[in-house]
Amino acid sequence: MTDTVPTRTLVIEREMPHPQEKIWRALTEGHLIEEWLMTNDFQPVVGHRFTFRATPVPGWSGIIECEVKAVEPHSRLAYSWGTMGMESVVTWTLTPTEGGTHIRMEQSGFPSEESASYKGAKYGWRNFIGKLERVVGGLE
Amino acid sequence: MQAATDNVFRALADPTRRAIFEELTRQGEQTVHALTRYAGVSQPAVSKHLTVLKRAKLVRHRREGRETHYRAQPDALAPMVDWLDHYGAFWRDRFDRLENLLKRMDK
């Protein structure tokens, strides 16, 4: 038996005119990550558990539970991304190009039925993402 | 709409149900007997899984004589596509911020 069909993957790619090393810093140094993503206690160490924190809203703690899955300096970084009972994996891949670096972000994953936070979730995914965008996206 | 999303997520959170759904997507219509052979679990277990998939509108059934035939309804995956759209917007915004940060780091 396989379980491939419903595991959907989101891929976002962009080339940026900056060297790999510099982008790697932005992806792996806590104070830099905070500037473009969220407050965190990230460490580039496989197995390290950390959290991303956004402003809590009713029905959502604002916490994303993560664990570092892969660290290949300057080229590949992966961490699990768990919130609202949905566990996914975010993988960053950096490839040098003539003018800079090609950045690929892949997020794949699915909610786990066992998760207490999923069962207790007052708000579902659509609401959550909407809030996430408003709260941490600075749109309000 | 929210309930539909939850049902789809819950239904597909189970690996056996994912496998059954995938099998129906691949092979087209199947009887409960055929699905039981495929899934390698008891028929009552398969029937329970099919009930969950039916509630999420991921499968439809029809009776023919003593057999019940099931087929996949891939349209029910639409809520997941919404989810991808939302996360897509989120990450694109983050890419913009990352790009801005990288520019500032030059200085």
Which site among B18, B20, B80, B92 would you substitute to test the A interface, given the most A Cβ atoms closer than 10 Å to its Cβ?
Answer: B18
With CB atoms and an 8 Å threshold, state whether B18 touches A127.
no
Q: Which structure tokens are listed for B48? A: 């329970």
For residue A78, what pLDDT band results from cuts at 50, 70 and 90? Answer: very high
With CB atoms and an 8 Å threshold, state whether A1 touches B16.
yes
A112, pLDDT greater than 50: no
Q: What domains are there in chain A, each with its CATH number?
A: 17-121 (3.30.530.20)
Contacts of B21 in chain A (CB under 8 A): 5-6
> Average pLDDT, stretch B34-49?
94
Question: Taking all residues of chain B, what is their mean pLDDT, rounded to a whole number?
Answer: 84
Q: What domains are there in chain B, each with its CATH number?
A: 2-105 (1.10.10.10)
What pTM was estimated for this model as a whole? 0.59
Residues within 8 A of B (CB atoms), A 13-32 only: 14, 16, 18, 22-23, 25-26, 32
pLDDT digits (tens, 9 = 90+) for A30-73: 999 999 999 999 999 999 999 999 876 655 677 899 999 999 99
Q: What pLDDT score does A117 carry?
A: 36
Q: Give the sheet arrangement for strand B59-64, strand by strand.
A: B30-31, B67-72, B59-64
Helices B43-55 and B32-39, axial angle in degrees (round to 10): 110
Could you tell me which chain A residue has the CA closest to the CA of B93?
Answer: A137
Q: What pLDDT score does A16 carry?
A: 93
Cα A48–B87–B21 angle (5° rounding)? 90
B1, pLDDT greater than 60: no
Q: What pLDDT score does B22 carry?
A: 80
B50, pLDDT greater than 80: yes
What value of ipTM does the predicted structure carry?
A: 0.74
Comparing CB atoms, the residue among A1, A105, A127 nearest residue B91 is A105
B33, B59, B38: which is closest to A1 by C-alpha?
B38
